Structures are given as structure tokens and as C-alpha cells.
Amino acid sequence: MCWKSVVAACGLLLAGLSVASAQDGYLEWTDANGLVGPFAEPEADLDTDGITNLMAYAFDLAPVNDPDAWEKLPSLAFIGDPPEPVMTFVLPREIPRDVCYVVDLVTEDGKRIEIARKNGRGPWKGTGEVFRRKLEDGCTEISVEAPLDIPIPEGECPLRLRVEFLP
């Protein structure tokens, strides 16, 4: 059997499984979703949609074929005159304790400056403006704006979101 067939078969089996509670931790989430071996690695992407297991876990998504994924993951818009970048994403009702969300500003020379950080269920910290809006389903929409005193580089993606495991 070829590798693509194995991945496709696993994807079909996993598509119907529910997402484990974020309070359980990453290992429990992988177990609840039937992910084993290399398929359980944080950087694995079974359905090749660009959403790794770690991102799916951090945003309370199913690891394979989640129809709500692109509504919850980060999006970037330019608002105002002059246009300023704003990153928006949706955090789950239960934020995992073992991940941290980091928003970086990418400078013109390609360096990343951290402007907002949320460690697990702790508060947001950093120089960026963080706005929260509670949604009807109990999730929270987050919008992050770059600090006004930092020049925004020309380009399509000046703000980026990273998800990391907490030490």
C-alpha cells in the first residue's frame, strides 16, 4: 500500500472523532483523536491543509478535515488610514494550559519582534494592543494591533502568529 493511501485511510478514520478537551493536554488530545506514532507529532499535518496538529490543538480543531478551521485561524486585515495591520483569530472556550500564543511583528529586515504573548490561560502581555470579544459559542475573538511607535514594514504579512509548547 502506498504512503498516500495510508494517510488517506487514517484521515477517513480520524475525520469523525471528536476533539478532546483542551484542559487534558496535548498527549490526551492526540489519543482522543486516534493519532499515534508520527501522526501524533505536533508538526504533523495528516490532511495536508497547512494546519499542524499543534495548531489544531491550540485552536480546538479536529486534526483532519475540520470545516470550521479557517474561521478560527489567524487572518490579517489592514484597517484605517493609513492602513494598519490587525491580526484576528478565535481562541477556544477552554484555552490549553500547555501552549502559548505569540504574535510577532516582522520588520523590514526580516527580524521578528514579539508584540503580544499569552501563556496558557494567563493574561496577554506585550506592547501590542490586544482586543477581546466574547462570541456566542463561548469562544473569544482576539484582535492584535502593532504598537504605534514601531514602524510597520511594507509587505503582505507584517504580523504573524506562532503557537508554542510551554516549557
Between CA 148 and CA 166 the distance in angstroms is 29
pLDDT of residue 1: 33
Between CA 30 and CA 62 the distance in angstroms is 10
Between CA 105 and CA 121 the distance in angstroms is 22
| Whether domain 74-165 has CATH 2.60.40 | yes
- Where do the CATH 2.60.40 domains begin and end in the chain? 74-165
- Per-block average pLDDT, block size 10, for the chain (167 residues)? 31 37 77 94 92 94 87 86 89 94 88 94 95 96 88 79 89
First to last CA, the chain: 39
| DSSP-based three-state secondary structure for 39 | helix
